[in-house]
Amino acid sequence: MTWSYDAIADVYATDMGASMPFDDVGWYARFCRARGGRVLELGCGSGRILVELLAGAIDAIGVDRSLPMLRRLRKDAGARGIDARVAQMDLRALALEARFDTILAPYSLVTYLTRADDLARVVTACRALLGPGGALVLDAFVPQPVAAYEGFRLDYRRAHGDGMLERSKRITPLADGCNRIERHYRLDDADGRTLEDFHTDETIRPYAEADLVACGLAAGFLHEASVHDYATPGDAPAPRFATVILRAA
């Protein structure tokens, strides 16, 4: 089945990657280095975080459901002389036998678990993959009020390769508390000619920090800490991201 991220694998760095306003990559690298041991990144995508962990000599592997994203990861990692160990795998059906010291679920990955029981199952599965004292790191956008609007609104127009990438978006709140997010992309060459138009359509469920903590406690974790906006100095009173650190008892 086609996944939205299949369509954006080759533009992800310009699209989602460049939309992150904080140095989450640096925070994850420091966290994993301080913890030591083996790291599993869930939803590793095209390698925005995983490749940097590997470049920093951190023992890490990644899984993602999108084969095009993993192909892009291997290509970019190979260009840097990095041998990335990855596997195609759905977050909701982890099939791993190894044990890890740290498991990362970055950049609001958990919001794609639109059913509360899916979140509980994933957190419980992660608990089984961690050794004693191991850490599960769950990251999520801080939920904000969402108002429906009919037309697509321009998000950005950014340089991409020799041309430009443009993205427009429409968000629709759903009755069950989820949000439908539709995105239109246009890729232009250096002369402004359109090379490609494509579209993604996905549903996410916002999770409050307290929801993630409660789910972790129910799965047998201890709540070690929460970090807002990746410990960015001068943290605003209204953070955009909450990162929950759960420790295996």
The answer on pLDDT for 102 being more than 80 is yes
Straight-line distance from the first to the last Cα atom of the chain, in angstroms, rounded to the nearest whole number: 37
Tens of pLDDT along 169-227?
999 999 999 999 999 999 999 999 999 999 999 999 999 999 999 999 999 999 999 99
Strand order in the sheet with 241-248: 86-88, 60-64, 39-42, 100-105, 130-141, 241-248, 221-228
**What pTM was computed for the model?**
0.95
